[in-house]
């Protein structure tokens, strides 16, 4: 039974990691600092996902909330890059 639970957790981690990762939309060429920030968000998201699996998702929703906030931060970074692009046209 424990092996099945571990397998289910690993599969959930893979699905979460693939389908829920914040998109990488900012160009290195045009906005290297914003792109670097997105990479840190990606790494943080992956670490939280790994922690969820390691703790069998028993974190009272706080890890999921953190991932939601990372997605919001990623969207703000994208908008910041778009705003900068508009100002430099």
Mean pLDDT, the chain, whole residue set? 84
Tens of pLDDT, residue by residue over 45-80, are: 999 999 999 998 889 999 999 999 999 999 999 999
pLDDT reported for residue 56: 87
What pTM was computed for the model? 0.71
Q: Which residue has better confidence, 55 or 13?
A: 55
Cβ 27 vs Cβ 81: under 8 Å: yes
């Amino acid at each position: 039974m424990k092996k099945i639970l571990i397998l289910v957790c690993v599969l959930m981690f893979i699905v979460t990691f693939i389908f829920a990762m914040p998109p990488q939309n900012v160009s290195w060429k045009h906005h290297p600092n914003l792109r670097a920030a997105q990479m840190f968000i990606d790494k943080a998201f992956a670490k939280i996902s790994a922690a969820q699996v390691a703790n069998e998702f028993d974190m009272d929703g706080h890890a999921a909330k953190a991932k939601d906030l990372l997605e919001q931060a990623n969207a703000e970074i994208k908008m910041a890059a778009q705003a900068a692009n508009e100002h430099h046209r």
